[in-house]
């Protein structure tokens, strides 16, 4: 840090917590600066301050790390689960820094999930204005008619506001159809809810692309480091500067 930064930004950069998680930690009184508990959202950390979360000192990361996982079904996209279910964090290899998932895939869904300790990039990717397209291969019950596919392409009203239009195409029509669905938002269970409303509930859902990232060869449950060119494409997708050589990812998790 060259100057004082908000706690949320510092924790995000350090890979300790996303900015939203940092706000929760503040509210719960789990953060200390120079030995004193802080709760105010606008609190800043200056160079030389001792920042602690749950009694553990937070230090700046040595480098940014970017990982891609092929998430299996029956894994929760959280750091821990009160029900004791397997989490995506359990599937990560040993790392020299703490990383966090960018967005989420629900318990029953599978496919590509990005992890990083680059808080600014994660925030840019999760902003609705980022327009980073997520693409899913979806097996649904029954065979949607052409009019139903057209309805899926138009906005739905979710959480009190309309969604952005989706791209939907029929990939395979057998007893139950397989669709390719692309959306530029990350509303909770958005694809599942869209298909439920048109009478074709999801049987299986796999994310096959996250923005410019794809990898059909990455086996289920596997994790690898992003390649430098992939990181640059990802940053360009949200208008961020390309990665400097000092922030290239370690090859250790590949």
Active site residues: 106
Q: Running DSSP on this structure, what letter comes out for residue 107?
A: T
Element (H, E) at 207: strand 202-210
Helix, strand, or coil (residue 230): helix
Helices (H) and strands (E) in the chain, counts: 6, 16
* Cα(208)–Cα(205) distance, integer angstroms: 9
Helix, strand, or coil (residue 123): helix
Q: Give 173's strand partners.
A: 177
Element (H, E) at 32: strand 31-33
Cα angle 178-159-199, degrees, rounded to a multiple of 5 = 30
Instruction: Answer for the pair 208, 135: CB distance below 8 angstroms, yes or no.
Output: yes
Instruction: Calculate the dihedral angle through the C-alpha atoms of 36, 41, 42, 48, rounding to the nearest 10 degrees.
Output: 40
* Cα(11)–Cα(44) distance, integer angstroms: 11
């Amino acid at each position: 840090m060259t100057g004082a930064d908000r706690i949320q930004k510092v924790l995000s950069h350090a890979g300790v917590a996303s900015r939203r998680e940092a706000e929760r930690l503040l509210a719960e009184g789990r953060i200390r600066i120079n030995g004193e508990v802080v709760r105010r959202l606008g609190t800043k950390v200056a160079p030389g301050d001792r920042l602690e979360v749950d009694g553990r000192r937070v230090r700046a990361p040595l480098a940014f790390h970017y990982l891609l996982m092929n998430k299996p079904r029956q894994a929760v996209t959280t750091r821990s689960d009160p029900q004791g279910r397997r989490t995506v964090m359990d599937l990560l290899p040993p790392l020299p820094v703490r990383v966090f998932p960018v967005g989420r895939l629900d318990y029953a869904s599978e496919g590509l999930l990005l992890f990083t300790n680059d808080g600014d990039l994660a925030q840019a990717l999760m902003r609705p204005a980022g327009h980073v397209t997520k693409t899913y291969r979806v097996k649904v019950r029954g065979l949607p008619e052409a009019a139903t596919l057209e309805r899926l392409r138009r906005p739905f009203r979710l959480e009190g506001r309309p969604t952005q239009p989706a791209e939907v195409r029929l990939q395979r029509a057998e007893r139950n159809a397989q669709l390719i669905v692309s959306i530029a938002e990350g509303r909770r269970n958005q694809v599942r809810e869209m298909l439920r409303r048109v009478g074709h509930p999801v049987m299986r859902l796999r994310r096959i692309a996250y923005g410019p990232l794809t990898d059909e060869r990455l086996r289920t449950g596997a994790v690898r480091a992003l390649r430098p060119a992939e990181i640059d494409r990802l940053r360009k997708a949200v208008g961020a500067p390309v990665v400097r050589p000092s922030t290239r990812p370690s090859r250790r998790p590949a």
